[in-house]
Amino acid sequence: MDSTKSVTLITGDKVQVSPAGSGRSNVRFFPANAADSGYETRTVGKDLYVVPDSAARLVNSGKVDQALFNVSGLIRQGYDDASTDQIPVIATYKPTARAAQQAVPAGSTRTRALPSVSAAAYKTDKTRAHDTWQALSTGRDVQKLWLDLKVHKTLDQSVPYVGAPQAWAAGYDGTGTTVAVLDSGVDAEHPDLVGAVKEQKNFTDSPDVADHDGHGTHTSSTVAGRGVASNGRNKGVAPGAQLLSGKVLNDYGSGDLSWIIAGMEWAVAEGADVISMSIGTSEPVDCTDPMAAAVDRISAESGVLFVIAAGNLGGPAEAITSPGCAASAMTVAATDLTQTTADFSSRGPVLANHAVKPDIAAPGVDITAARAGGRGDSAYVDMSGTSMATPHVAGAAAILKQEHPTWTGQQLKAVLQNSVRAESKVGIYEQGAGELNVAQAVTQQVTGPATTDLGTFAWPHTSGQKLTRQLTYHNDGTEPVTLTVTADARGNNGKPLPSALITFGKSLTIPAGGTADLPVTVDPSKAIDYGLYGAISTRVVAKSNSGQTVVTPLGFYLEPQYVDVTFKLIDRDGKPATSISSLDVFDLDSIAAQRVGFDGTDQTLHLRAGTYSLAATIAHDGADGLVDSYAFLGDPELTLTKNTTITYDARTAAEATVTTDRPTQRKAGSLTYGRVIDNWILSSSRSYGTTVEVYLGTTSKARRGTFEVVEGWQYGSPAGAKSPYLYSLAFTHEQQVKGKPTHRVRDRDLATIDATYYTPGKDYTYSEYVDVWRPWSINLIPTGDRGSVAAPTRVQHLVTADKDTKVSQMVGHADAMAWPFATLMTSTATAYKPGSRHSESWYKAGLRPGLVTDQTTGAEVRSGGAGRQHGLEQLRQLGGHADRSLLVAGLPRPGRHRAVRERRVAGGVRVLRPGCLGRAGSGDRSRAEVRPDPLAARRLQVGVAVDG
């Protein structure tokens, strides 16, 4: 992230994230309700979650989608406040409730009912998000509240490669069939698509059905383009098919889940035989989302075949996106014309449930197809992606539907898989059955099963789990056919499975017009190397005496040793933990983490045997219902090889206390822990006010990676002190927590910063933060919550002095705006020496332009490129230290104020006269936008814009 972003959460609370250099971020939280000011910031890998205490119970219980609080994800999807003033959500309702009859929550509008998943989609005005949250989070009939995720496009010399011309020569080009393309719309006037599109509908927030992105036109012409603009050279796979164009991606190439589901329902109602969807989520999923559920339900009810992209997330595994993860879908991987899986093509199996995906592969690299708005020499464009592979398969399905009009979608799926190129050398989790071959599909005489998933074989593996499954083959011919069977069976690590674990019949004879079964036996009790356990890939190839092949991808999950671990969390009253208590379970072997909530009951987890980091935070509520204490207990490195019970009892933890040389009163505090393995970070930070008590339990010692617990404390001078001072302290427990956390603080062991706060012409109260950074942390670690400074004044800061702990200050000027501040000044994070003394000046004199500086190192950051903003985001202070930066945070909405009294000087710098406050503009040329500043004194502010 290279600029400051603000995000309004569904709870109405606001989060501001600003870059601090070196890939790190400052995170600020502003509660919608001052009484609900508690929150947690959590880093999982590279994603930042900010969960208010008011939502933590529902998130921990799984009743609210944690994606609603994934601030990194919300920014990536364009849900930050500068990009949109609404939050899209989907509420799924209990089976006994009727979603369409539910009252519209306060502060929102219903955008569409989604009966196929018993849900409704809503748009929530951010200014009333808190009202919507109250309505939906307390609704008796609401089963779960989801973020309406944006779904993106997942980007041809290839039609002959898949054998389409041979199918045309046999009389099959899709005539009489209908393919619905759910995408970004279509250029129906393109020469290749004139007369091909029989119906269009717009489900997005874009104003019309036209394709202003180009993706939908490309995929539509790959399905059924007539090739007119190329004299027939660039025909689609099924040039005789008719198209339905459902615009479910807007003009920027993204769409909401609710738009997609509505498009599916419309396509079926309009009589589609095949639905082509070159779309997918931006993250792998466990396939429990409403969109995937809709695919399976609609498939079962209508018999339509959904052909869906696998996704463009690459490998090595478990990268399939939704809705391609749906079991009934024909999920398509991408290859080049050398049978090599494209690097970008998502690999299977499906995350969490280990389902076998993808199902088939088709060309998806440098595919030539119609360009939206293109005519003449620019009629075509090349694109790459599983999006391009998908319409090849959809067109092939249309051809097969023409040949067999009574076949269901699942029958089409099976034959398209059976007839693939048989010579694939990769596992089924890369290419499914293999590469599409429609020429063989239309002549396929012997057919067999589609993707066959034998499920999960749970540990321990015994002879009682031995399973025999019959694979049924059908012969449509007039003569008996004998099949010879071979199987390529591989373990999770890609190495061959021993023949004792999986066995097949070697051959079978199928009578004319009849069927025959091939037995497949799996005996999971057979001893195998540990690395083979996991997702098992088997490609079964049955070859007839005439040379025709029948391919079936068969897979299963051979569970490694797992253990059942029961976790008991006990609060300080000796009762089972409730409130917002939680446990983080971090698998150090597979680098995967999960969060478990506690609400008065024990939790039993089924975990892969191995080494884990366990971190329990046990909250206790006071009489007012708010948290009055946190206890941290855990084991940063614990090997689990048998069923066991682990108890974390807050009564065994010791209270953290701080004593200072000077008289103080407590201001705020924080509790942070971090666990880092192989550069993958799991961390949590909770901030709180003056009354919350903190307890720490002794832990074992971490030997791999980094484990730290950091206590943050702020103690200030008594009220009315003539010479105010503030202790901002960080106590770090490295690799383990040991002994009582009793801290006797001596001033001589701290660093002293004499800070002077100036004002722009009159008295003013600033916002202030003091934070620390540890070598592993990518987000700041607060020593407390937001403080305030009544300026002009002087404050003596006494801060932690440690070679591995950097301290930074941030002071904010509210500028009469709704946010607590609009402009921020920050100091470079510095590791101070004990007993050292320093001085800082805030908002003194004027400002001069300077290059962006890295907050954590102080080094200049030289970024460039046409249209990049270099000023106003960070300017150095004139009269203070040279390493001071001024950050100008964006307004809630882009302004439209003219840059008055502007003068151009050398180097493309625009100088604004006194009386105007500059900020980064929203236009392409990065021009400064200004507004009257009632607090302005004699100051000069400069924005640097690079115009080319």
Active site residues: 183, 215, 387
Q: Check: CB of residue 382 under 8 Å from CB of residue 367.
A: yes
C-alpha span between 610 and 677 (Å, rounded): 14
Q: Quote the distance between the C-alpha of residue 140 and its chain's center.
A: 28
Task: Work out the angle at residue 211's Cα, subtended by the Cα atoms of residues 283 and 370, and round it to the nearest 5 degrees.
Answer: 95
**Tokens, residue 415:** 């034959």
**Tokens, residue 47:** 């994603």
Q: Beta strand pairing status for 680-688 and 725-734?
A: unpaired
C-alpha span between 857 and 887 (Å, rounded): 16
Q: List the one residue out of 591, 572, 540, 551 whose CA is nearest residue 654.
A: 572
Beta-carbon count within 10 A of 591 CB: 13
C-alpha count within 13 angstroms, C-beta hemisphere, residue 338: 2
In sequence order, the β-bridge partners of residue 592 are 587
Q: Check: CB of residue 267 under 8 Å from CB of residue 246.
A: yes
C-alpha span between 650 and 654 (Å, rounded): 9
Tell me if the bond preceding 349 is cis, omega within 30° of 0.
Answer: yes
Task: Work out the angle at residue 365's Cα, subtended by the Cα atoms of residues 359 and 370, and round it to the nearest 5 degrees.
Answer: 105
- List Cα–Cα distances, 832 to 272, 563, 747, 804, 829, in angstroms: 69, 47, 13, 9, 9
For residue 137, the one-letter residue type is: S
Reported in sequence order, the residue ranges of 427-480 that DSSP labels E, i.e. its strands, are 446-447, 452-457, 467-475
Q: List the one residue out of 360, 361, 355 whose CA is nearest residue 317.
A: 355
**DSSP sequence for 633-657:** EEEEEEEE-S-EEEEEEGGGSEEPE
C-alpha span between 611 and 897 (Å, rounded): 58
Beta-carbon count within 10 A of 644 CB: 12
Q: List the one residue out of 713, 746, 715 whose CA is nearest residue 731.
A: 713
- Give the containing element (helix H, strand E) for 142: strand 142-147
Residue with tokens 């599909």: 441
Beta-carbon count within 10 A of 404 CB: 13
Phi and psi angles of residue 379, each rounded to the nearest 5 degrees, phi first: -75, -20
C-alpha span between 547 and 170 (Å, rounded): 20
